[in-house]
A and B are shown apart, each in its own frame.
Chain A
């Protein structure tokens, strides 16, 4: 079975259309991030920790499971609640961490939810002293320091990627590869800003995966450009770029699809807890694949020959390593 056999799509010729689309997406994302802001989850902002006991008075009521409690708490608007048993699960004591700063308000909301949604567990019990055992403000799991640390680590790793690509290919390839990465990251963060979905630690992991995936995809095309520059010396540079993108298209799409299939399966069957994570992964794969095909090498073409003459650049690219 062959996909895109002898494909001849005019990726290079139509590049300005994609530049404009990307520019709009990036600009919109930046505006979204600035004006709507990122909805940092309790991982980053801290919240309220509540310890509740849900041992029903009526012994016929089945024990409450974490998943059932989570559903009720989620439905009440606490999207990324973290719930676990404290001590042995037979004690039916739960520790719940939710967003929010106002202890009293959270206490009121939780009381309300429990009495209306799970009445069989709290009936005939003293809500203030027996059901709600303890309530505290908790700090962030990853404070400012850790967040800054992560950003610095990512920037350093990008610097090293530029250097590696510079050595193996050419400087503009490295620089534009990273520009394309920024493009991907900004758009994905922008989606989270617009939808106001909570930005958790796991979303951060998805973002990092996107970076790895996208650069991988881009370099496969770079590699073909480098090879074709060696073989087809008489063709003009834009022709070579377009042919390279087309001849790797089959691989780009197949790899994108297999990876997307796994991410989508997590999205549809993985349950509510990894829902947003799977969404970020799926979007990341789509954005990463898009930028590899339409943006990264076209950006290189735009700047090719600016840092040195085209001839020198080709010579640097094709010399034996």
Chain B
């Protein structure tokens, strides 16, 4: 043990500093640029949050399936919110087909709304060969030219072009319609100028256009990220085969990952991407598709936007793929969540979203805090009466223990609710237990006539076994509850786990260190305990 005598003070230092670091945002005012942003979230009962009311559109479903579709959507939404890391939400069915969602502490309801409502349709489609793509564009151009009256915006554009052509004579090539004039090229691809993006986008979504365009191929735009927005580069327009080679249902698991900084591929080096693992059937399809189409390009299409279209180099037999793109970490994470969960059973429309207050009134929160303080104070006094000097040390360490619980909850993204606070207060009562076990043991040893030094040592040694056994049993239970539980059970398990670890460390290491440093002096025969 002597060999590792530095271990104890170092671990205590880490414990104290770590606690202070993660608690610091509570004390730093909002406008100061402090490196640690994460703050302990307060639950709906303490602070309120955002309420979003959604309607499930069930009119296209048979009467008998409607209720089940709403229930199913609630379940899917619950999973999505859960995986997004928002703890302790409220999700309830309201009326016949509305869903009421309350999210604690969410400042950006739009992002939450997007996550909840997105469908995330994933498809893998082959990119048409250049000659076929050109033919297709020409066909589309001709069709639009014939039906120009059905597309008022394009008609207006065509009229402007004509006026311009007259003024400057020529330049508009013969046989080229207004649609082709919107298309330019970028490297090997067709593209749309940034300024024309909205025109093309609305055209592609126009149902008249969708009905008129030749079958077999589709026009799909690539995703527009922040960088593109800033530089106003042209946006690639892909001509894709209409039949999807693989779909979202072929994906077994999706996860957000960050590429290693030494990765040879610039698309993933240091960047978030989504890694996909296909199901058995999906892996077979993917192997066949890549094997049959070496040299062609396979577009990864998510919600009708192309994220990337890599060239197939070789047959890929292992059933793995990745979606790269200019994702932020948050986007990649939400997309992975969406891909992991089944799609919504019926589309959802937002009804309204609004801020909601805490469910506990100001008075209730105040009295809860007051009760907590009284409880803690009682415990502190209790310890001093029973264990004098040792009790005082235990009280001192207890303060850090409470700080540690709050800091650890901040770190793990826990949400503090009123029952959570009560749970912490209770943990305090129980944290004292470890100290009681040790002190009682030391008293027994002193009674047996041992001098303080060896009584302290023996007391700690014996009590440590007891503390480990009893706390580990509870810890195992807490970890199992965390693994298998959902919602509030999980939140409870997290608080319990943190509380157990904190109180074990405080009693066995922290408290012992201070006691050894302050209570043991050579020649002293009594002990304040």
| A residues adjacent to B (C-beta < 8 A) | 1-2, 46, 49, 65-68, 70, 82-89, 95, 136-142, 145-146, 149-150, 152-154, 156-158, 160-161, 164-165, 168, 201-202, 204-206, 208-209, 211-213, 215-217, 219-220, 222-224, 227, 247, 250-251, 254-255, 257-263, 265-266, 268-274, 277-278, 281
Whether A95 and B356, one on each chain, are in contact in the complex, defined by CB atoms closer than 8 angstroms, is yes
Q: For A201, give the chain B residue with the smallest CB separation.
A: B488
Among B74, B444, B476, which residue has its beta carbon within 8 angstroms of that of A160? Answer: B476
B98 CB–A CB distance under 8 Å:
yes
Whether A271 and B469, one on each chain, are in contact in the complex, defined by CB atoms closer than 8 angstroms, is no
Whether B430 and A88, one on each chain, are in contact in the complex, defined by CB atoms closer than 8 angstroms, is no
Contacts of A68 in B (CB 8 A): 361
- CB A97 to nearest CB in B, in angstroms, measures 8
Contacts of A150 in B (CB 8 A): 485-486, 489
Interface of A is mostly: helix
B86 CB–A CB distance under 8 Å:
no
- CB B471 to nearest CB in A, in angstroms, measures 7
Complexed CA–CA distance, A205 and B487 (Å): 11
Among B355, B360, B428, which residue has its beta carbon within 8 angstroms of that of A262? Answer: B428
Complexed CA–CA distance, A158 and B496 (Å): 16
Contacts of A216 in B (CB 8 A): 430, 433, 470-471, 473-474
Among A67, A204, A220, which residue has its beta carbon within 8 angstroms of that of B470? Answer: A220
Known contacts A46-B92, A145-B75, A157-B481; decide if A254 and B363 are in contact (CB<8 Å): no
Whether A273 and B360, one on each chain, are in contact in the complex, defined by CB atoms closer than 8 angstroms, is yes
Known contacts A136-B95, A272-B364; decide if A258 and B487 are in contact (CB<8 Å): no
Q: For B467, give the chain A residue with the smallest CB separation.
A: A220
Contacts of A255 in B (CB 8 A): 429-430, 432-433, 436-437
Contacts of A217 in B (CB 8 A): 470
Whether A84 and B358, one on each chain, are in contact in the complex, defined by CB atoms closer than 8 angstroms, is yes
B15 CB–A CB distance under 8 Å:
no
Contacts of A220 in B (CB 8 A): 437, 466, 470
Whether B371 and A153, one on each chain, are in contact in the complex, defined by CB atoms closer than 8 angstroms, is no
Q: For A266, give the chain B residue with the smallest CB separation.
A: B371
Selected interface stretch from B6-14, B260-268, B416-424: B416-424
Complexed CA–CA distance, A265 and B422 (Å): 10
Can you list 20 A-B contacts with CB-CB less than 8 angstroms, sorted by A residue number?
A49-B100, A67-B364, A84-B358, A87-B356, A136-B94, A139-B93, A145-B75, A153-B481, A153-B483, A156-B480, A157-B480, A205-B423, A205-B492, A215-B473, A220-B466, A254-B440, A255-B436, A259-B433, A269-B367, A274-B422
| B residues adjacent to A (C-beta < 8 A) | 44, 48, 51, 74-75, 90-95, 98, 100, 354-364, 367-368, 370-372, 374-376, 378-379, 382-383, 385-386, 418-419, 422-423, 425-426, 428-430, 432-433, 436-437, 440, 443-444, 462, 465-466, 469-474, 476-478, 480-481, 483-489, 492-493, 496
Whether A223 and B94, one on each chain, are in contact in the complex, defined by CB atoms closer than 8 angstroms, is no
Known contacts A46-B93, A273-B364; decide if A82 and B359 are in contact (CB<8 Å): yes
Complexed CA–CA distance, A216 and B433 (Å): 10
Whether A259 and B422, one on each chain, are in contact in the complex, defined by CB atoms closer than 8 angstroms, is no
Complexed CA–CA distance, A263 and B440 (Å): 23
Complexed CA–CA distance, A88 and B496 (Å): 35
Q: For A223, give the chain B residue with the smallest CB separation.
A: B466
- CB B109 to nearest CB in A, in angstroms, measures 13
Question: A49, A86, A149, A271: which has the most chain B beta carbons within 10 Å?
Answer: A271
Contacts of A95 in B (CB 8 A): 51, 356
Contacts of A227 in B (CB 8 A): 462
Contacts of A206 in B (CB 8 A): 419
Contacts of A83 in B (CB 8 A): 359, 361
Contacts of B418 in A (CB 8 A): 202, 273-274
Q: For A140, give the chain B residue with the smallest CB separation.
A: B92
Question: A65, A150, A158, A260: which has the most chain B beta carbons within 10 Å?
Answer: A150
Contacts of A161 in B (CB 8 A): 473, 476-477
Known contacts A138-B93, A141-B90; decide if A153 and B489 are in contact (CB<8 Å): yes
Q: For A260, give the chain B residue with the smallest CB separation.
A: B429
Q: For B385, give the chain A residue with the smallest CB separation.
A: A1
Contacts of A160 in B (CB 8 A): 476-477, 480
Among B48, B74, B372, which residue has its beta carbon within 8 angstroms of that of A84? Answer: B48
Whether B469 and A84, one on each chain, are in contact in the complex, defined by CB atoms closer than 8 angstroms, is no
Complexed CA–CA distance, A254 and B387 (Å): 11
Q: For B388, give the chain A residue with the smallest CB separation.
A: A1
Contacts of A158 in B (CB 8 A): 477
Complexed CA–CA distance, A142 and B91 (Å): 8
Known contacts A161-B473, A251-B440, A271-B368; decide if A261 and B362 are in contact (CB<8 Å): no
Whether A259 and B480, one on each chain, are in contact in the complex, defined by CB atoms closer than 8 angstroms, is no
- CB B365 to nearest CB in A, in angstroms, measures 9
- CB A69 to nearest CB in B, in angstroms, measures 8
Complexed CA–CA distance, A138 and B98 (Å): 9
Known contacts A209-B423, A215-B474, A216-B430; decide if A262 and B379 are in contact (CB<8 Å): yes
- CB A177 to nearest CB in B, in angstroms, measures 8
Known contacts A49-B100, A164-B472; decide if A270 and B492 are in contact (CB<8 Å): no
Q: For B462, give the chain A residue with the smallest CB separation.
A: A227
- CB A83 to nearest CB in B, in angstroms, measures 6
Whether B356 and A84, one on each chain, are in contact in the complex, defined by CB atoms closer than 8 angstroms, is yes
Among A152, A205, A270, which residue has its beta carbon within 8 angstroms of that of B484? Answer: A152
Q: Given A85-B48, A157-B478, list of 6 further CB < 8 A pairs?
A: A49-B94, A66-B362, A149-B486, A259-B430, A261-B379, A274-B422
